[in-house]
Amino acid sequence: MHKRTLGNSSLEVSALGLGCMGLSHGYGPATDTQQAITLIRSAVDRGVTFFDTAEVYGPYLNEQVVGEALAPIRDQVVIATKFGFTFGADNKQQILNSRPEHIRLAVEGSLRRLKTDFIDLLYQHRVDPDVPIEDVAGVVRDLIGEGKVKHFGLSEAGAQTIRRAHAVQPVTALQSEYSLWWRESEQEILPTLKELGIGFVPFSPLGKGFLTGTVTADATYGSDDFRSIVPRFSQSALQANQGLVVLIRQIAAQQQATPAQVALAWLLAQAPWIVPIPGTTKLHRLEENLGGADITLDAAELKAIDAALAQTPIEGERYPESLKARVGR
Active site residues: 57
The closest of 173, 176, 207, 218 to 78, measured between CA atoms, is: 173
DSSP run (H or E) holding 155: strand 149-155
Alpha helices for the chain (secondary structure H) = 33-45, 61-70, 100-113, 133-145, 159-168, 189-196, 235-240, 242-255, 259-270, 283-290, 299-310, 321-324
The closest of 199, 246, 139 to 11, measured between CA atoms, is: 199
Type of residue numbered 192: T
Residues 6 or more apart from 43 whose CB is under 8 A from it?
18, 51, 286, 290
User: Would you call the peptide bond into 132 cis, given omega within 30 degrees of 0 as the criterion?
Assistant: no
* C-beta of residue 143 within 8 angstroms of C-beta of residue 95: no
**Cα Rg of the chain (Å, integer):** 19
Type of residue numbered 207: G
DSSP category for residue 224: T
Pairing mode of beta strands 85-87, 94-96: antiparallel
Report how far residue 74's alpha carbon sits from residue 86's, in angstroms, rounded to the nearest whole number. 27
The closest of 34, 40, 102, 27 to 70, measured between CA atoms, is: 40
